[in-house]
Amino acid sequence: MKPCADYTVLFADDSLVALNKRNGILIASDRYDPDAPRLDTAAQEEFGRLYAVHRLDKDTSGVVVYARTEEAHRDLCMQFEKRKVSKTYHCLVHGHPTWQTLHVDLKLLPDGDARHRTVVNKRAGKISITDFTNLGSAGPFTWIKAQPLTGRTHQIRAHLQANGFSIVCDPLYSGNQKPVKLSDFKRRYNGDTLEERPLLSRLALHAYSITLTHPVTKESLTFTAPYPRDMEAVRKQLAKIYSVDPLA
């Protein structure tokens, strides 16, 4: 299969494809930005028509699954609707949670303010559930594993914000959008800080893995998406300096 800057292929057969997408690209059409780059159209040349079965935010990288037939589409959509799909995200947040695990079931209202953010709303919000695990603190940051049981827009980001934490370089939910630079946490940094290039300058949220049932063979499948280059660079540096590795 030919390489593409927008994605790498994790799995493909006649029923479905699993892609590792870059950040900054939509997985399907968007009413707010109909002309924005889309992953489904980018992959059409290789796979033909693709049917979206779940959501992944534009700013989030990681695993995306598409159906390739109408039958597979119906089956996979039903799995997501009945919460039979397991999803795991990794993110880097500012600060240090005191909890090891956190269960959040705050109701969320997508498009709840003028910036189209998802907000906590106990009356009008929809049931939203996320389980968080603290994977370890490294310098000013902490690696977090998030497992959403529901699929609301910006769910992980909104649930973290409601509990006092924001994802690194989040343009919507964080007051701190400062890029991550090696000089920020490496002692005795010898480079020129004025010329230093950031290790990471976009939302540090990655859809790491997904487990579902194949719509035809009924086999349980898990697709794991390696970190993109920028998050991998941060992971390696933090692991080297602080001996904390979210993939360990």
Catalytic (active-site) positions: 57
Q: Which tokens belong to 61?
A: 């990288």
3-state SS class at 152: coil
Distances (CA, A) of 15 to 8, 49, 134, 209, 213: 18, 11, 36, 19, 12
Q: For residues 57 and 200, what is the distance between their CA atoms, to the nearest angstrom?
A: 18
Nearest-angstrom CA–CA distance, 25 and 3: 16
Amino acid at position 121, single letter = N
Q: Which residues of 108-140 are buried (b: 16+ CB within 10 A; e: fewer)?
A: bbbebeeeebbbbeeeebeebbbbbbbbbbbee
3-class secondary structure, 241: helix
* Ramachandran bin of 72, using left for φ above 0, alpha for ψ from -120 to 50, beta for the remaining angles: alpha
Distance CA 141, CA 180 (A): 10
DSSP 5: T
Give how far Cα 202 sits from Cα of 60, 62, 63, 133, Å. 9, 14, 17, 22
